[in-house]
């Protein structure tokens, strides 16, 4: 299965994902993104990102090999479709953490993906989280909050919504979603049909 966690900037997607993987390190594979930006110190190709040049990335876009992609500050970021397909074909469950626009691209290409929307308890707490980062001006924070309002309205395109009021509670809810999806009768039926036919 393909699980996807997304939500507004500053909602804590990365924090929740890291806590989930720390709790269950071998249960899911984390989707590795591709980028055209240069590696930062300590980053390893194929572990942190697939580092590509602009021509390679654009060829993958044109060949339909990007599940989703976006361009930020003159660099491309995206998810190679081949890697996801290979993992799913091998029976592995893959977990993605991406922005809302990317999630909508995935929804269009992989209708059976399970989309989880991570919400802030309220917009004031989201503002506080963005301010605590200390990396952006008030103008940028205001723009991010405006975008967050628009993205929250898109929540109805998702399968589940989880409020990130406390990280451990949010992780527990995400884990519950994963467990429930794995127990759906139609998923189990496919493997049993193969056994019965064999």
- Residues at the binding site for ATP are 7-14
Annotated binding site: 7-14
Q: What is the 3-state secondary structure (H, E, C) of 131-152?
A: HHHCCCCHHHHHHHHHHHHHHH
């Amino acid at each position: 299965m393909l699980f996807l966690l997304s939500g507004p900037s500053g909602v804590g997607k990365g924090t929740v994902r890291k806590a989930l993987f720390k709790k269950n390190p071998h249960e899911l594979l984390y989707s590795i993104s591709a980028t055209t930006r240069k590696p930062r110190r300590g980053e390893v190709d194929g572990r942190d990102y697939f580092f590509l040049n602009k021509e390679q990335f654009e060829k993958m876009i044109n060949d339909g090999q990007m599940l989703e992609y976006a361009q930020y500050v003159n660099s491309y970021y995206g998810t190679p479709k081949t890697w996801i397909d290979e993992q799913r074909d091998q029976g592995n469950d893959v977990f993605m953490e991406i922005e809302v626009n990317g999630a909508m691209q995935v929804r269009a290409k992989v209708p059976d993906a399970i989309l989880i929307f991570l919400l802030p308890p309220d917009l004031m707490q989201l503002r506080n989280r963005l301010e605590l980062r200390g990396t952006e001006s008030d103008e940028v924070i205001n723009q991010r909050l405006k975008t967050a309002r628009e993205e929250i309205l898109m929540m109805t395109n998702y399968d589940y919504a989880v409020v990130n009021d406390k990280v451990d509670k949010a992780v527990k809810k995400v884990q519950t979603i994963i467990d429930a999806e794995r127990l759906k009768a139609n998923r189990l039926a496919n493997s049993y049909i193969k056994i019965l036919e064999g």
